[in-house]
Amino acid sequence: MNKEKNFEKNFRDAFSQIHAEDGLKAQTKSYLAQQINKKKRHSFPVLQAAAAAACLFAAVSAGGAWLYLSPASYISIDINPSLELGINRFDRVVSVESFNSNGQDLAEQLDIRYMDYSDALEELLSKQTVEAYLADGAVMAVTVAGSDEEKTNQILENVETCTAGHSNISCHSGDIEEMHEAHSEGLSLGKYRAYLELKTLDPTVTPDDIRDLSMREIRDLIDDLKSTDTGKDEDNTGNSSENGAGNAGSGPKENGTSAGSKRHGHRHGADNNW
């Protein structure tokens, strides 16, 4: 028994002399540290790639959404209701903005968002409210504005095609700066141009005076003032000579305004009239 115990003690003593050398431990630790860091480093490129892909995706999505949702051109429609349709680069209506209470009512009746603008215009013209206005002898001005002239002209051509069946609709093209000015006065582009024309004849007129007037009423006012002016002052403005007297149904061939220095083309609808 003693022999056995003695053997066990000697065995333990023999093996307890064996230790892992400091060098061996240090070497193992440095190897492990290297492996751990390598794994960490390896995981980074994957994360980075994933993050980059996510950023790219977000940027493309945001860019796409911006491209789709931001209007590139505007179609301003004025009868009495004043509406402005924002058209994106893909010819879709992305915004419908109203500039007076009648416009607000009409906008609420229309479900034309994301429609092709030609279809949207057809839809608008077929609305009973609009039809009633037109049948009642109102004049409707459709003004197209955009930063890209070519695109604006293309839209204008389409709009003219759409409105070809109506004799009291006139189509014009404007520019985006003029439209911003109109907005700053709280008017749609079509009405703003009529307002400018009226202002050259009657400088006391304010945007508030005409905001809720129909285009027919503004047109009549202009015609009245013109017929008075031509009688007493031949060279009131450059416009007056162009804007010869006429009734609402047979207006001037060139619709010059006080902003005549600004670039704005004139494309007229069926009877070249407001």
Partner 1 sequence: MRSEEEANRAVDLYGDTVRRICMIHLKNRADTEDIFQTVFLKYVLRTAPFESPEHEKAWIIRVTANACKDLLRSFFRSRTVSLDVLIEKPQEIPEDHSDILEAVLALPEKYKDPIYLHYYEGYTAEEIGQILGKNTNTVYTLLTRARQMLKTRLEGVAEDE
- The binding site for partner 1 (CB under 8 A) comprises 7-8, 10-21, 24-25, 27-29, 31-33, 35-36, 39
Please provide residue 263's backbone torsions phi and psi, each rounded to the nearest 5 degrees.
-80, 115
Reading the block at residue 91, the tokens are: 């010819």
Query: CB 3 → partner 1: shortest distance, Å?
Result: 9
* Complex with partner 1: residue 26 or 69, whichever CB lies closer: 26
Query: CB 32 → partner 1: shortest distance, Å?
Result: 4
With beta carbons less than 8 A apart as the criterion, state whether 79 and 212 touch.
no
Query: CB 20 → partner 1: shortest distance, Å?
Result: 3
* Complex with partner 1: residue 31 or 68, whichever CB lies closer: 31
- Residue 113 has, within 13 A of its CA and on its CB side, a CA count of 11
* Complex with partner 1: residue 20 or 47, whichever CB lies closer: 20
Reading phi first (left if > 0) and then psi (alpha if -120 to 50, else beta), residue 186 is in left
With beta carbons less than 8 A apart as the criterion, state whether 197 and 222 touch.
yes
Query: CB 7 → partner 1: shortest distance, Å?
Result: 8
Distance CA 187, CA 180 (A): 10
What does each C-alpha distance from 126 to 110, 130, 134, 139 come to in angstroms? 11, 7, 11, 16
With beta carbons less than 8 A apart as the criterion, state whether 227 and 246 touch.
no
* Complex with partner 1: residue 6 or 228, whichever CB lies closer: 6
* Complex with partner 1: residue 29 or 113, whichever CB lies closer: 29
Query: CB 49 → partner 1: shortest distance, Å?
Result: 20
